[in-house]
Structure 1
């Protein structure tokens, strides 16, 4: 049985998205490094990167990648598109090795592989999405008790991370910045789906922008995206890019799948084999994340003898 033309289009768009997004991490980091030499670094709360062309080039690259990813879902099923996001990790790590000279230790490579394998296992055995026919139907799902509880937990966790842990542990613990981006990212995806449905229905002749629910989803997307951009910049400016990419991918993918399962209530269609496979995939992700986190500084060991890097690590409590 041959591959349909729609799946081919979705595959090409998804791969293109991974290349653009993986490249954006490197381009943005170059911009953040240049901005840090002339102004207050993003990791220290500065916004001088807004005047740096390299950072804007990275942002444009990321936006193009996200648009390609969004378009891929219009052609191919999520089971094909989502796992291909792992390619952005590999592409980003390779570019970081050659362009930023951020060395990835052999155990870091193993951790990256474990993260990808675990994420793919979960995605491939995740329940199918239900078909949505209107924004109002999606709004009904979003206001069910289960998803409201999830959204409330996300807001509380993000609030605690921002106001309690960012000032004290932001520059020393990768999980703080990435946790904020990933948690809010799961809410962003749900809202982006709503906007995608609104646009699709509007183009077909049924204007969805006459409903206030569509505008609420729009505001949520804008707010969560701005929050993610801010803290992702801090993470990129503070930690090794080759570690940020896989950890962010793993956490974002996991939380997005959880949010989708809660919102669409598709777990009833799963059998025992699928559930066990997802649990095994989650354990694999945890193992890979732990290995990456524990070995994140090992790749920079050859440069640790340099006085310049020693002072830099003393001031920042992390390696860049």
Structure 2
């Protein structure tokens, strides 16, 4: 059989991405999940997602939440933790193969340019991926990085690599979550449900969203009594929830509060995604400004 070459993997969020891009890279070049085992980065990304989709379950989420929300792993200032992002290259990211701290400053600086008066927004951009320090304390990257998705209900079509990438996930076959067709008591036919273990329009706050750096950092900020406003906190908590904020999924589970949350997350998303480039900011020159923001909103030594 002839080699058909790379298989195109269309990202459903493409249609809902905010404009514009902030460098010369064309819009369609971002989030390219083409399956190509000859490309080491594309193959690394595929492996990371398939392992995530095979292993991330409701029970595992609860285990990780119990483990990490004790905040007993280490103590450090936010700046010290940010510096450690030099050691993390996101294995799920097809757009950038640089240490995460570079992306942190790229994001923060573009937000600062466009929103000069919102210093909390600048800091949110800088720290949004800081939860990835979990990868430096024994957590595999598939449980730290990448797009997030709702657990305990139907796998959304807009998830990267699609629902078929969950074929080895135990929750796919758990009748409590109604991922596969089941017989109802009232009607004599086979049916499925989008809702799984949830009630209609229960709201994002009541969903179990796959464990990742998003939820960890959100809970870290609450635990350490950060004064970043709620807008920044929800940007952090849901910025990787692409099937929702860019793919249009889960609207049957969201509520009126989430409509406002979506506005904040969508505004943040264009800086998170489209500032990625090979242009490295002068991080040392920028530290004094951001150190002041850290001292203002998340001062001192924190519990991680």
TM normalised by structure 2 equals 0.29
